[in-house]
Each structure stands twice: as structure tokens, then as C-alpha cells.
Structure 1
């Protein structure tokens, strides 16, 4: 009887832990710096959680970062020459989450970062 109970418990544990897949990553997202300025202290939240991206040199791309949910635009905060620039979505009402895959947010800068610059964003499917 103990062996049967032990076998049932073992099977149940395998089912429970097997269904808790560690690969819940839906979207891999990176940022391309499409400007002539270096980006520092880059933070990204495309819809599910905020991640620290770090620095991205002018014309370069970050590594991919995993997100469970992402949209065609998202929150981006970064510094250029000590000046903070933010792209702040109001909400994602009516937006459809991106499907599983790899994407790039191509981020540019309009204007002078020391005065009145704003960030631009374009989504590219990789």
C-alpha cells in the first residue's frame, strides 16, 4: 500500500512541476539606438514588467530581453548627456499584445537632448 501511495504522489508531483514551465517567455525584445547620441541608464517596460537595459552606444543594439507580454510601443526611460528622456504610453486599451517572437524597438531622438528633445519609436519584427 505504501508503494502505491508513493507512486501516486510521485506522479502528481511530476504533473504539477511539469506544468510549471520555466519557458513562459513569449517575446524577446531589444532596443536599437537610431541616434547620434549614446543612451545611458535605459529602462524598458513594453507592457508586462520594467527591465534595466543599461547603456547603448549610438547606432548599436542591446541584447534581447525576455518579456511575457509586450506591445508595439512601451515605456522607455533613458539618459543622454545626463538629461532624462521618457517615452510614456498612456495605456494599451485596444492594443493587441505582440505574438511570440523577436522584436526590436528602434529608438531615435528628435531635437536637442539638452533642451527639448523627444524620443521616437518604431517596431521592427526580427
Structure 2
């Protein structure tokens, strides 16, 4: 009897602990990673609706939900008194991202250009 209860409890614990963090998502969730040597005081993605603040060097922001998102986007980074912009030319051929967790890994080159690496979490 003890073995049966122990087996049942073990099975229940394993079932609950094996769920993915994205099992209950209902939208696209994007966070920012700062891969530059500058602190990002403010990162605007697409519009004022999606603003990330105080993202330190080699740090991640919290996720934000998007109704519609792509592998790249308009990004405006403010660091101190400087502003850096990534302006996509067009979205022709781009498909909407499916529900999931994603990271925009951002860096600023020595020339002041914003680079974006898209990461599926």
C-alpha cells in the first residue's frame, strides 16, 4: 500500500513539474537583452505601447505581450543623452510570429548602429 501511494505521489509531482513556461501563453511575448556595453535607459519597440526601461549590460528585461509582432521591428534605444534607432525598411515576406516567447538581443556597434539578433526562447 505504501509503495502504491509513493508511486502515485511521485507520478503527480513529475506531471506538475514537467510543464513548460510557455504552456499557458495566449499571445506573443518579447523581451529585450542588452548585449552592449551601455545601459539602456529606455527601449521603445514599435510604439509607445511597448517601452522597456533600465536594461543593464548583459541583462534581460521582463516579457511584454504583443498582439502582432515580427522577427524584427522599429527600435529606439536611449542611453544617457544619446538615441539610437533601428528602422526596418519593410516587412515584405515577413510572417507574423506565432504565440511564444522571444528575445530581441540588441547591441550598439562602435559606429552607433543598432543590431538585432532574434532569439526563440
Q: 1:42 to 1:70 in 2, by over 3 A?
A: same
Q: TM-score, normalised by structure 1?
A: 0.71
Paired residues, what number? 98
Higher strand share: 1
Alignment of 1:36-115 (within 5 A): 36-45=37-46, 50-111=49-110
Q: Partners of 1:72 and 1:104 in 2: how far apart?
A: 9
Q: Deviations over 1:18-62 (max 9, x none)?
A: xxxxxx9420000000011100121112xx874111121111010
- Mapped to 2, the partners of 1:49 and 1:56 lie a distance apart of 17
1:48-95 superposed Cα distances (whole Å, 9 cap, x missing partner): 874111121111010000001110001111112210001111221110
RMSD: 2.1
Q: CA deviation at 1:125?
A: 0.4
After the TM superposition, list the runs of 4 or more consecutive aligned residues in structure 1 that deviate by more than 6 angstroms. none
Unaligned runs of 5+ residues in structure 2 are 1-24
Q: Which moved more, 1:74-83 or 1:49-58?
A: 49-58
Q: Unaligned regions of 5+ residues in structure 1, if any?
A: 1-23
Structure 2 Cα separation of the partners of residues 101 and 60 of structure 1: 20
- Contact between 1:25 and 1:67, CA under 8 Å: does it hold in 2? no
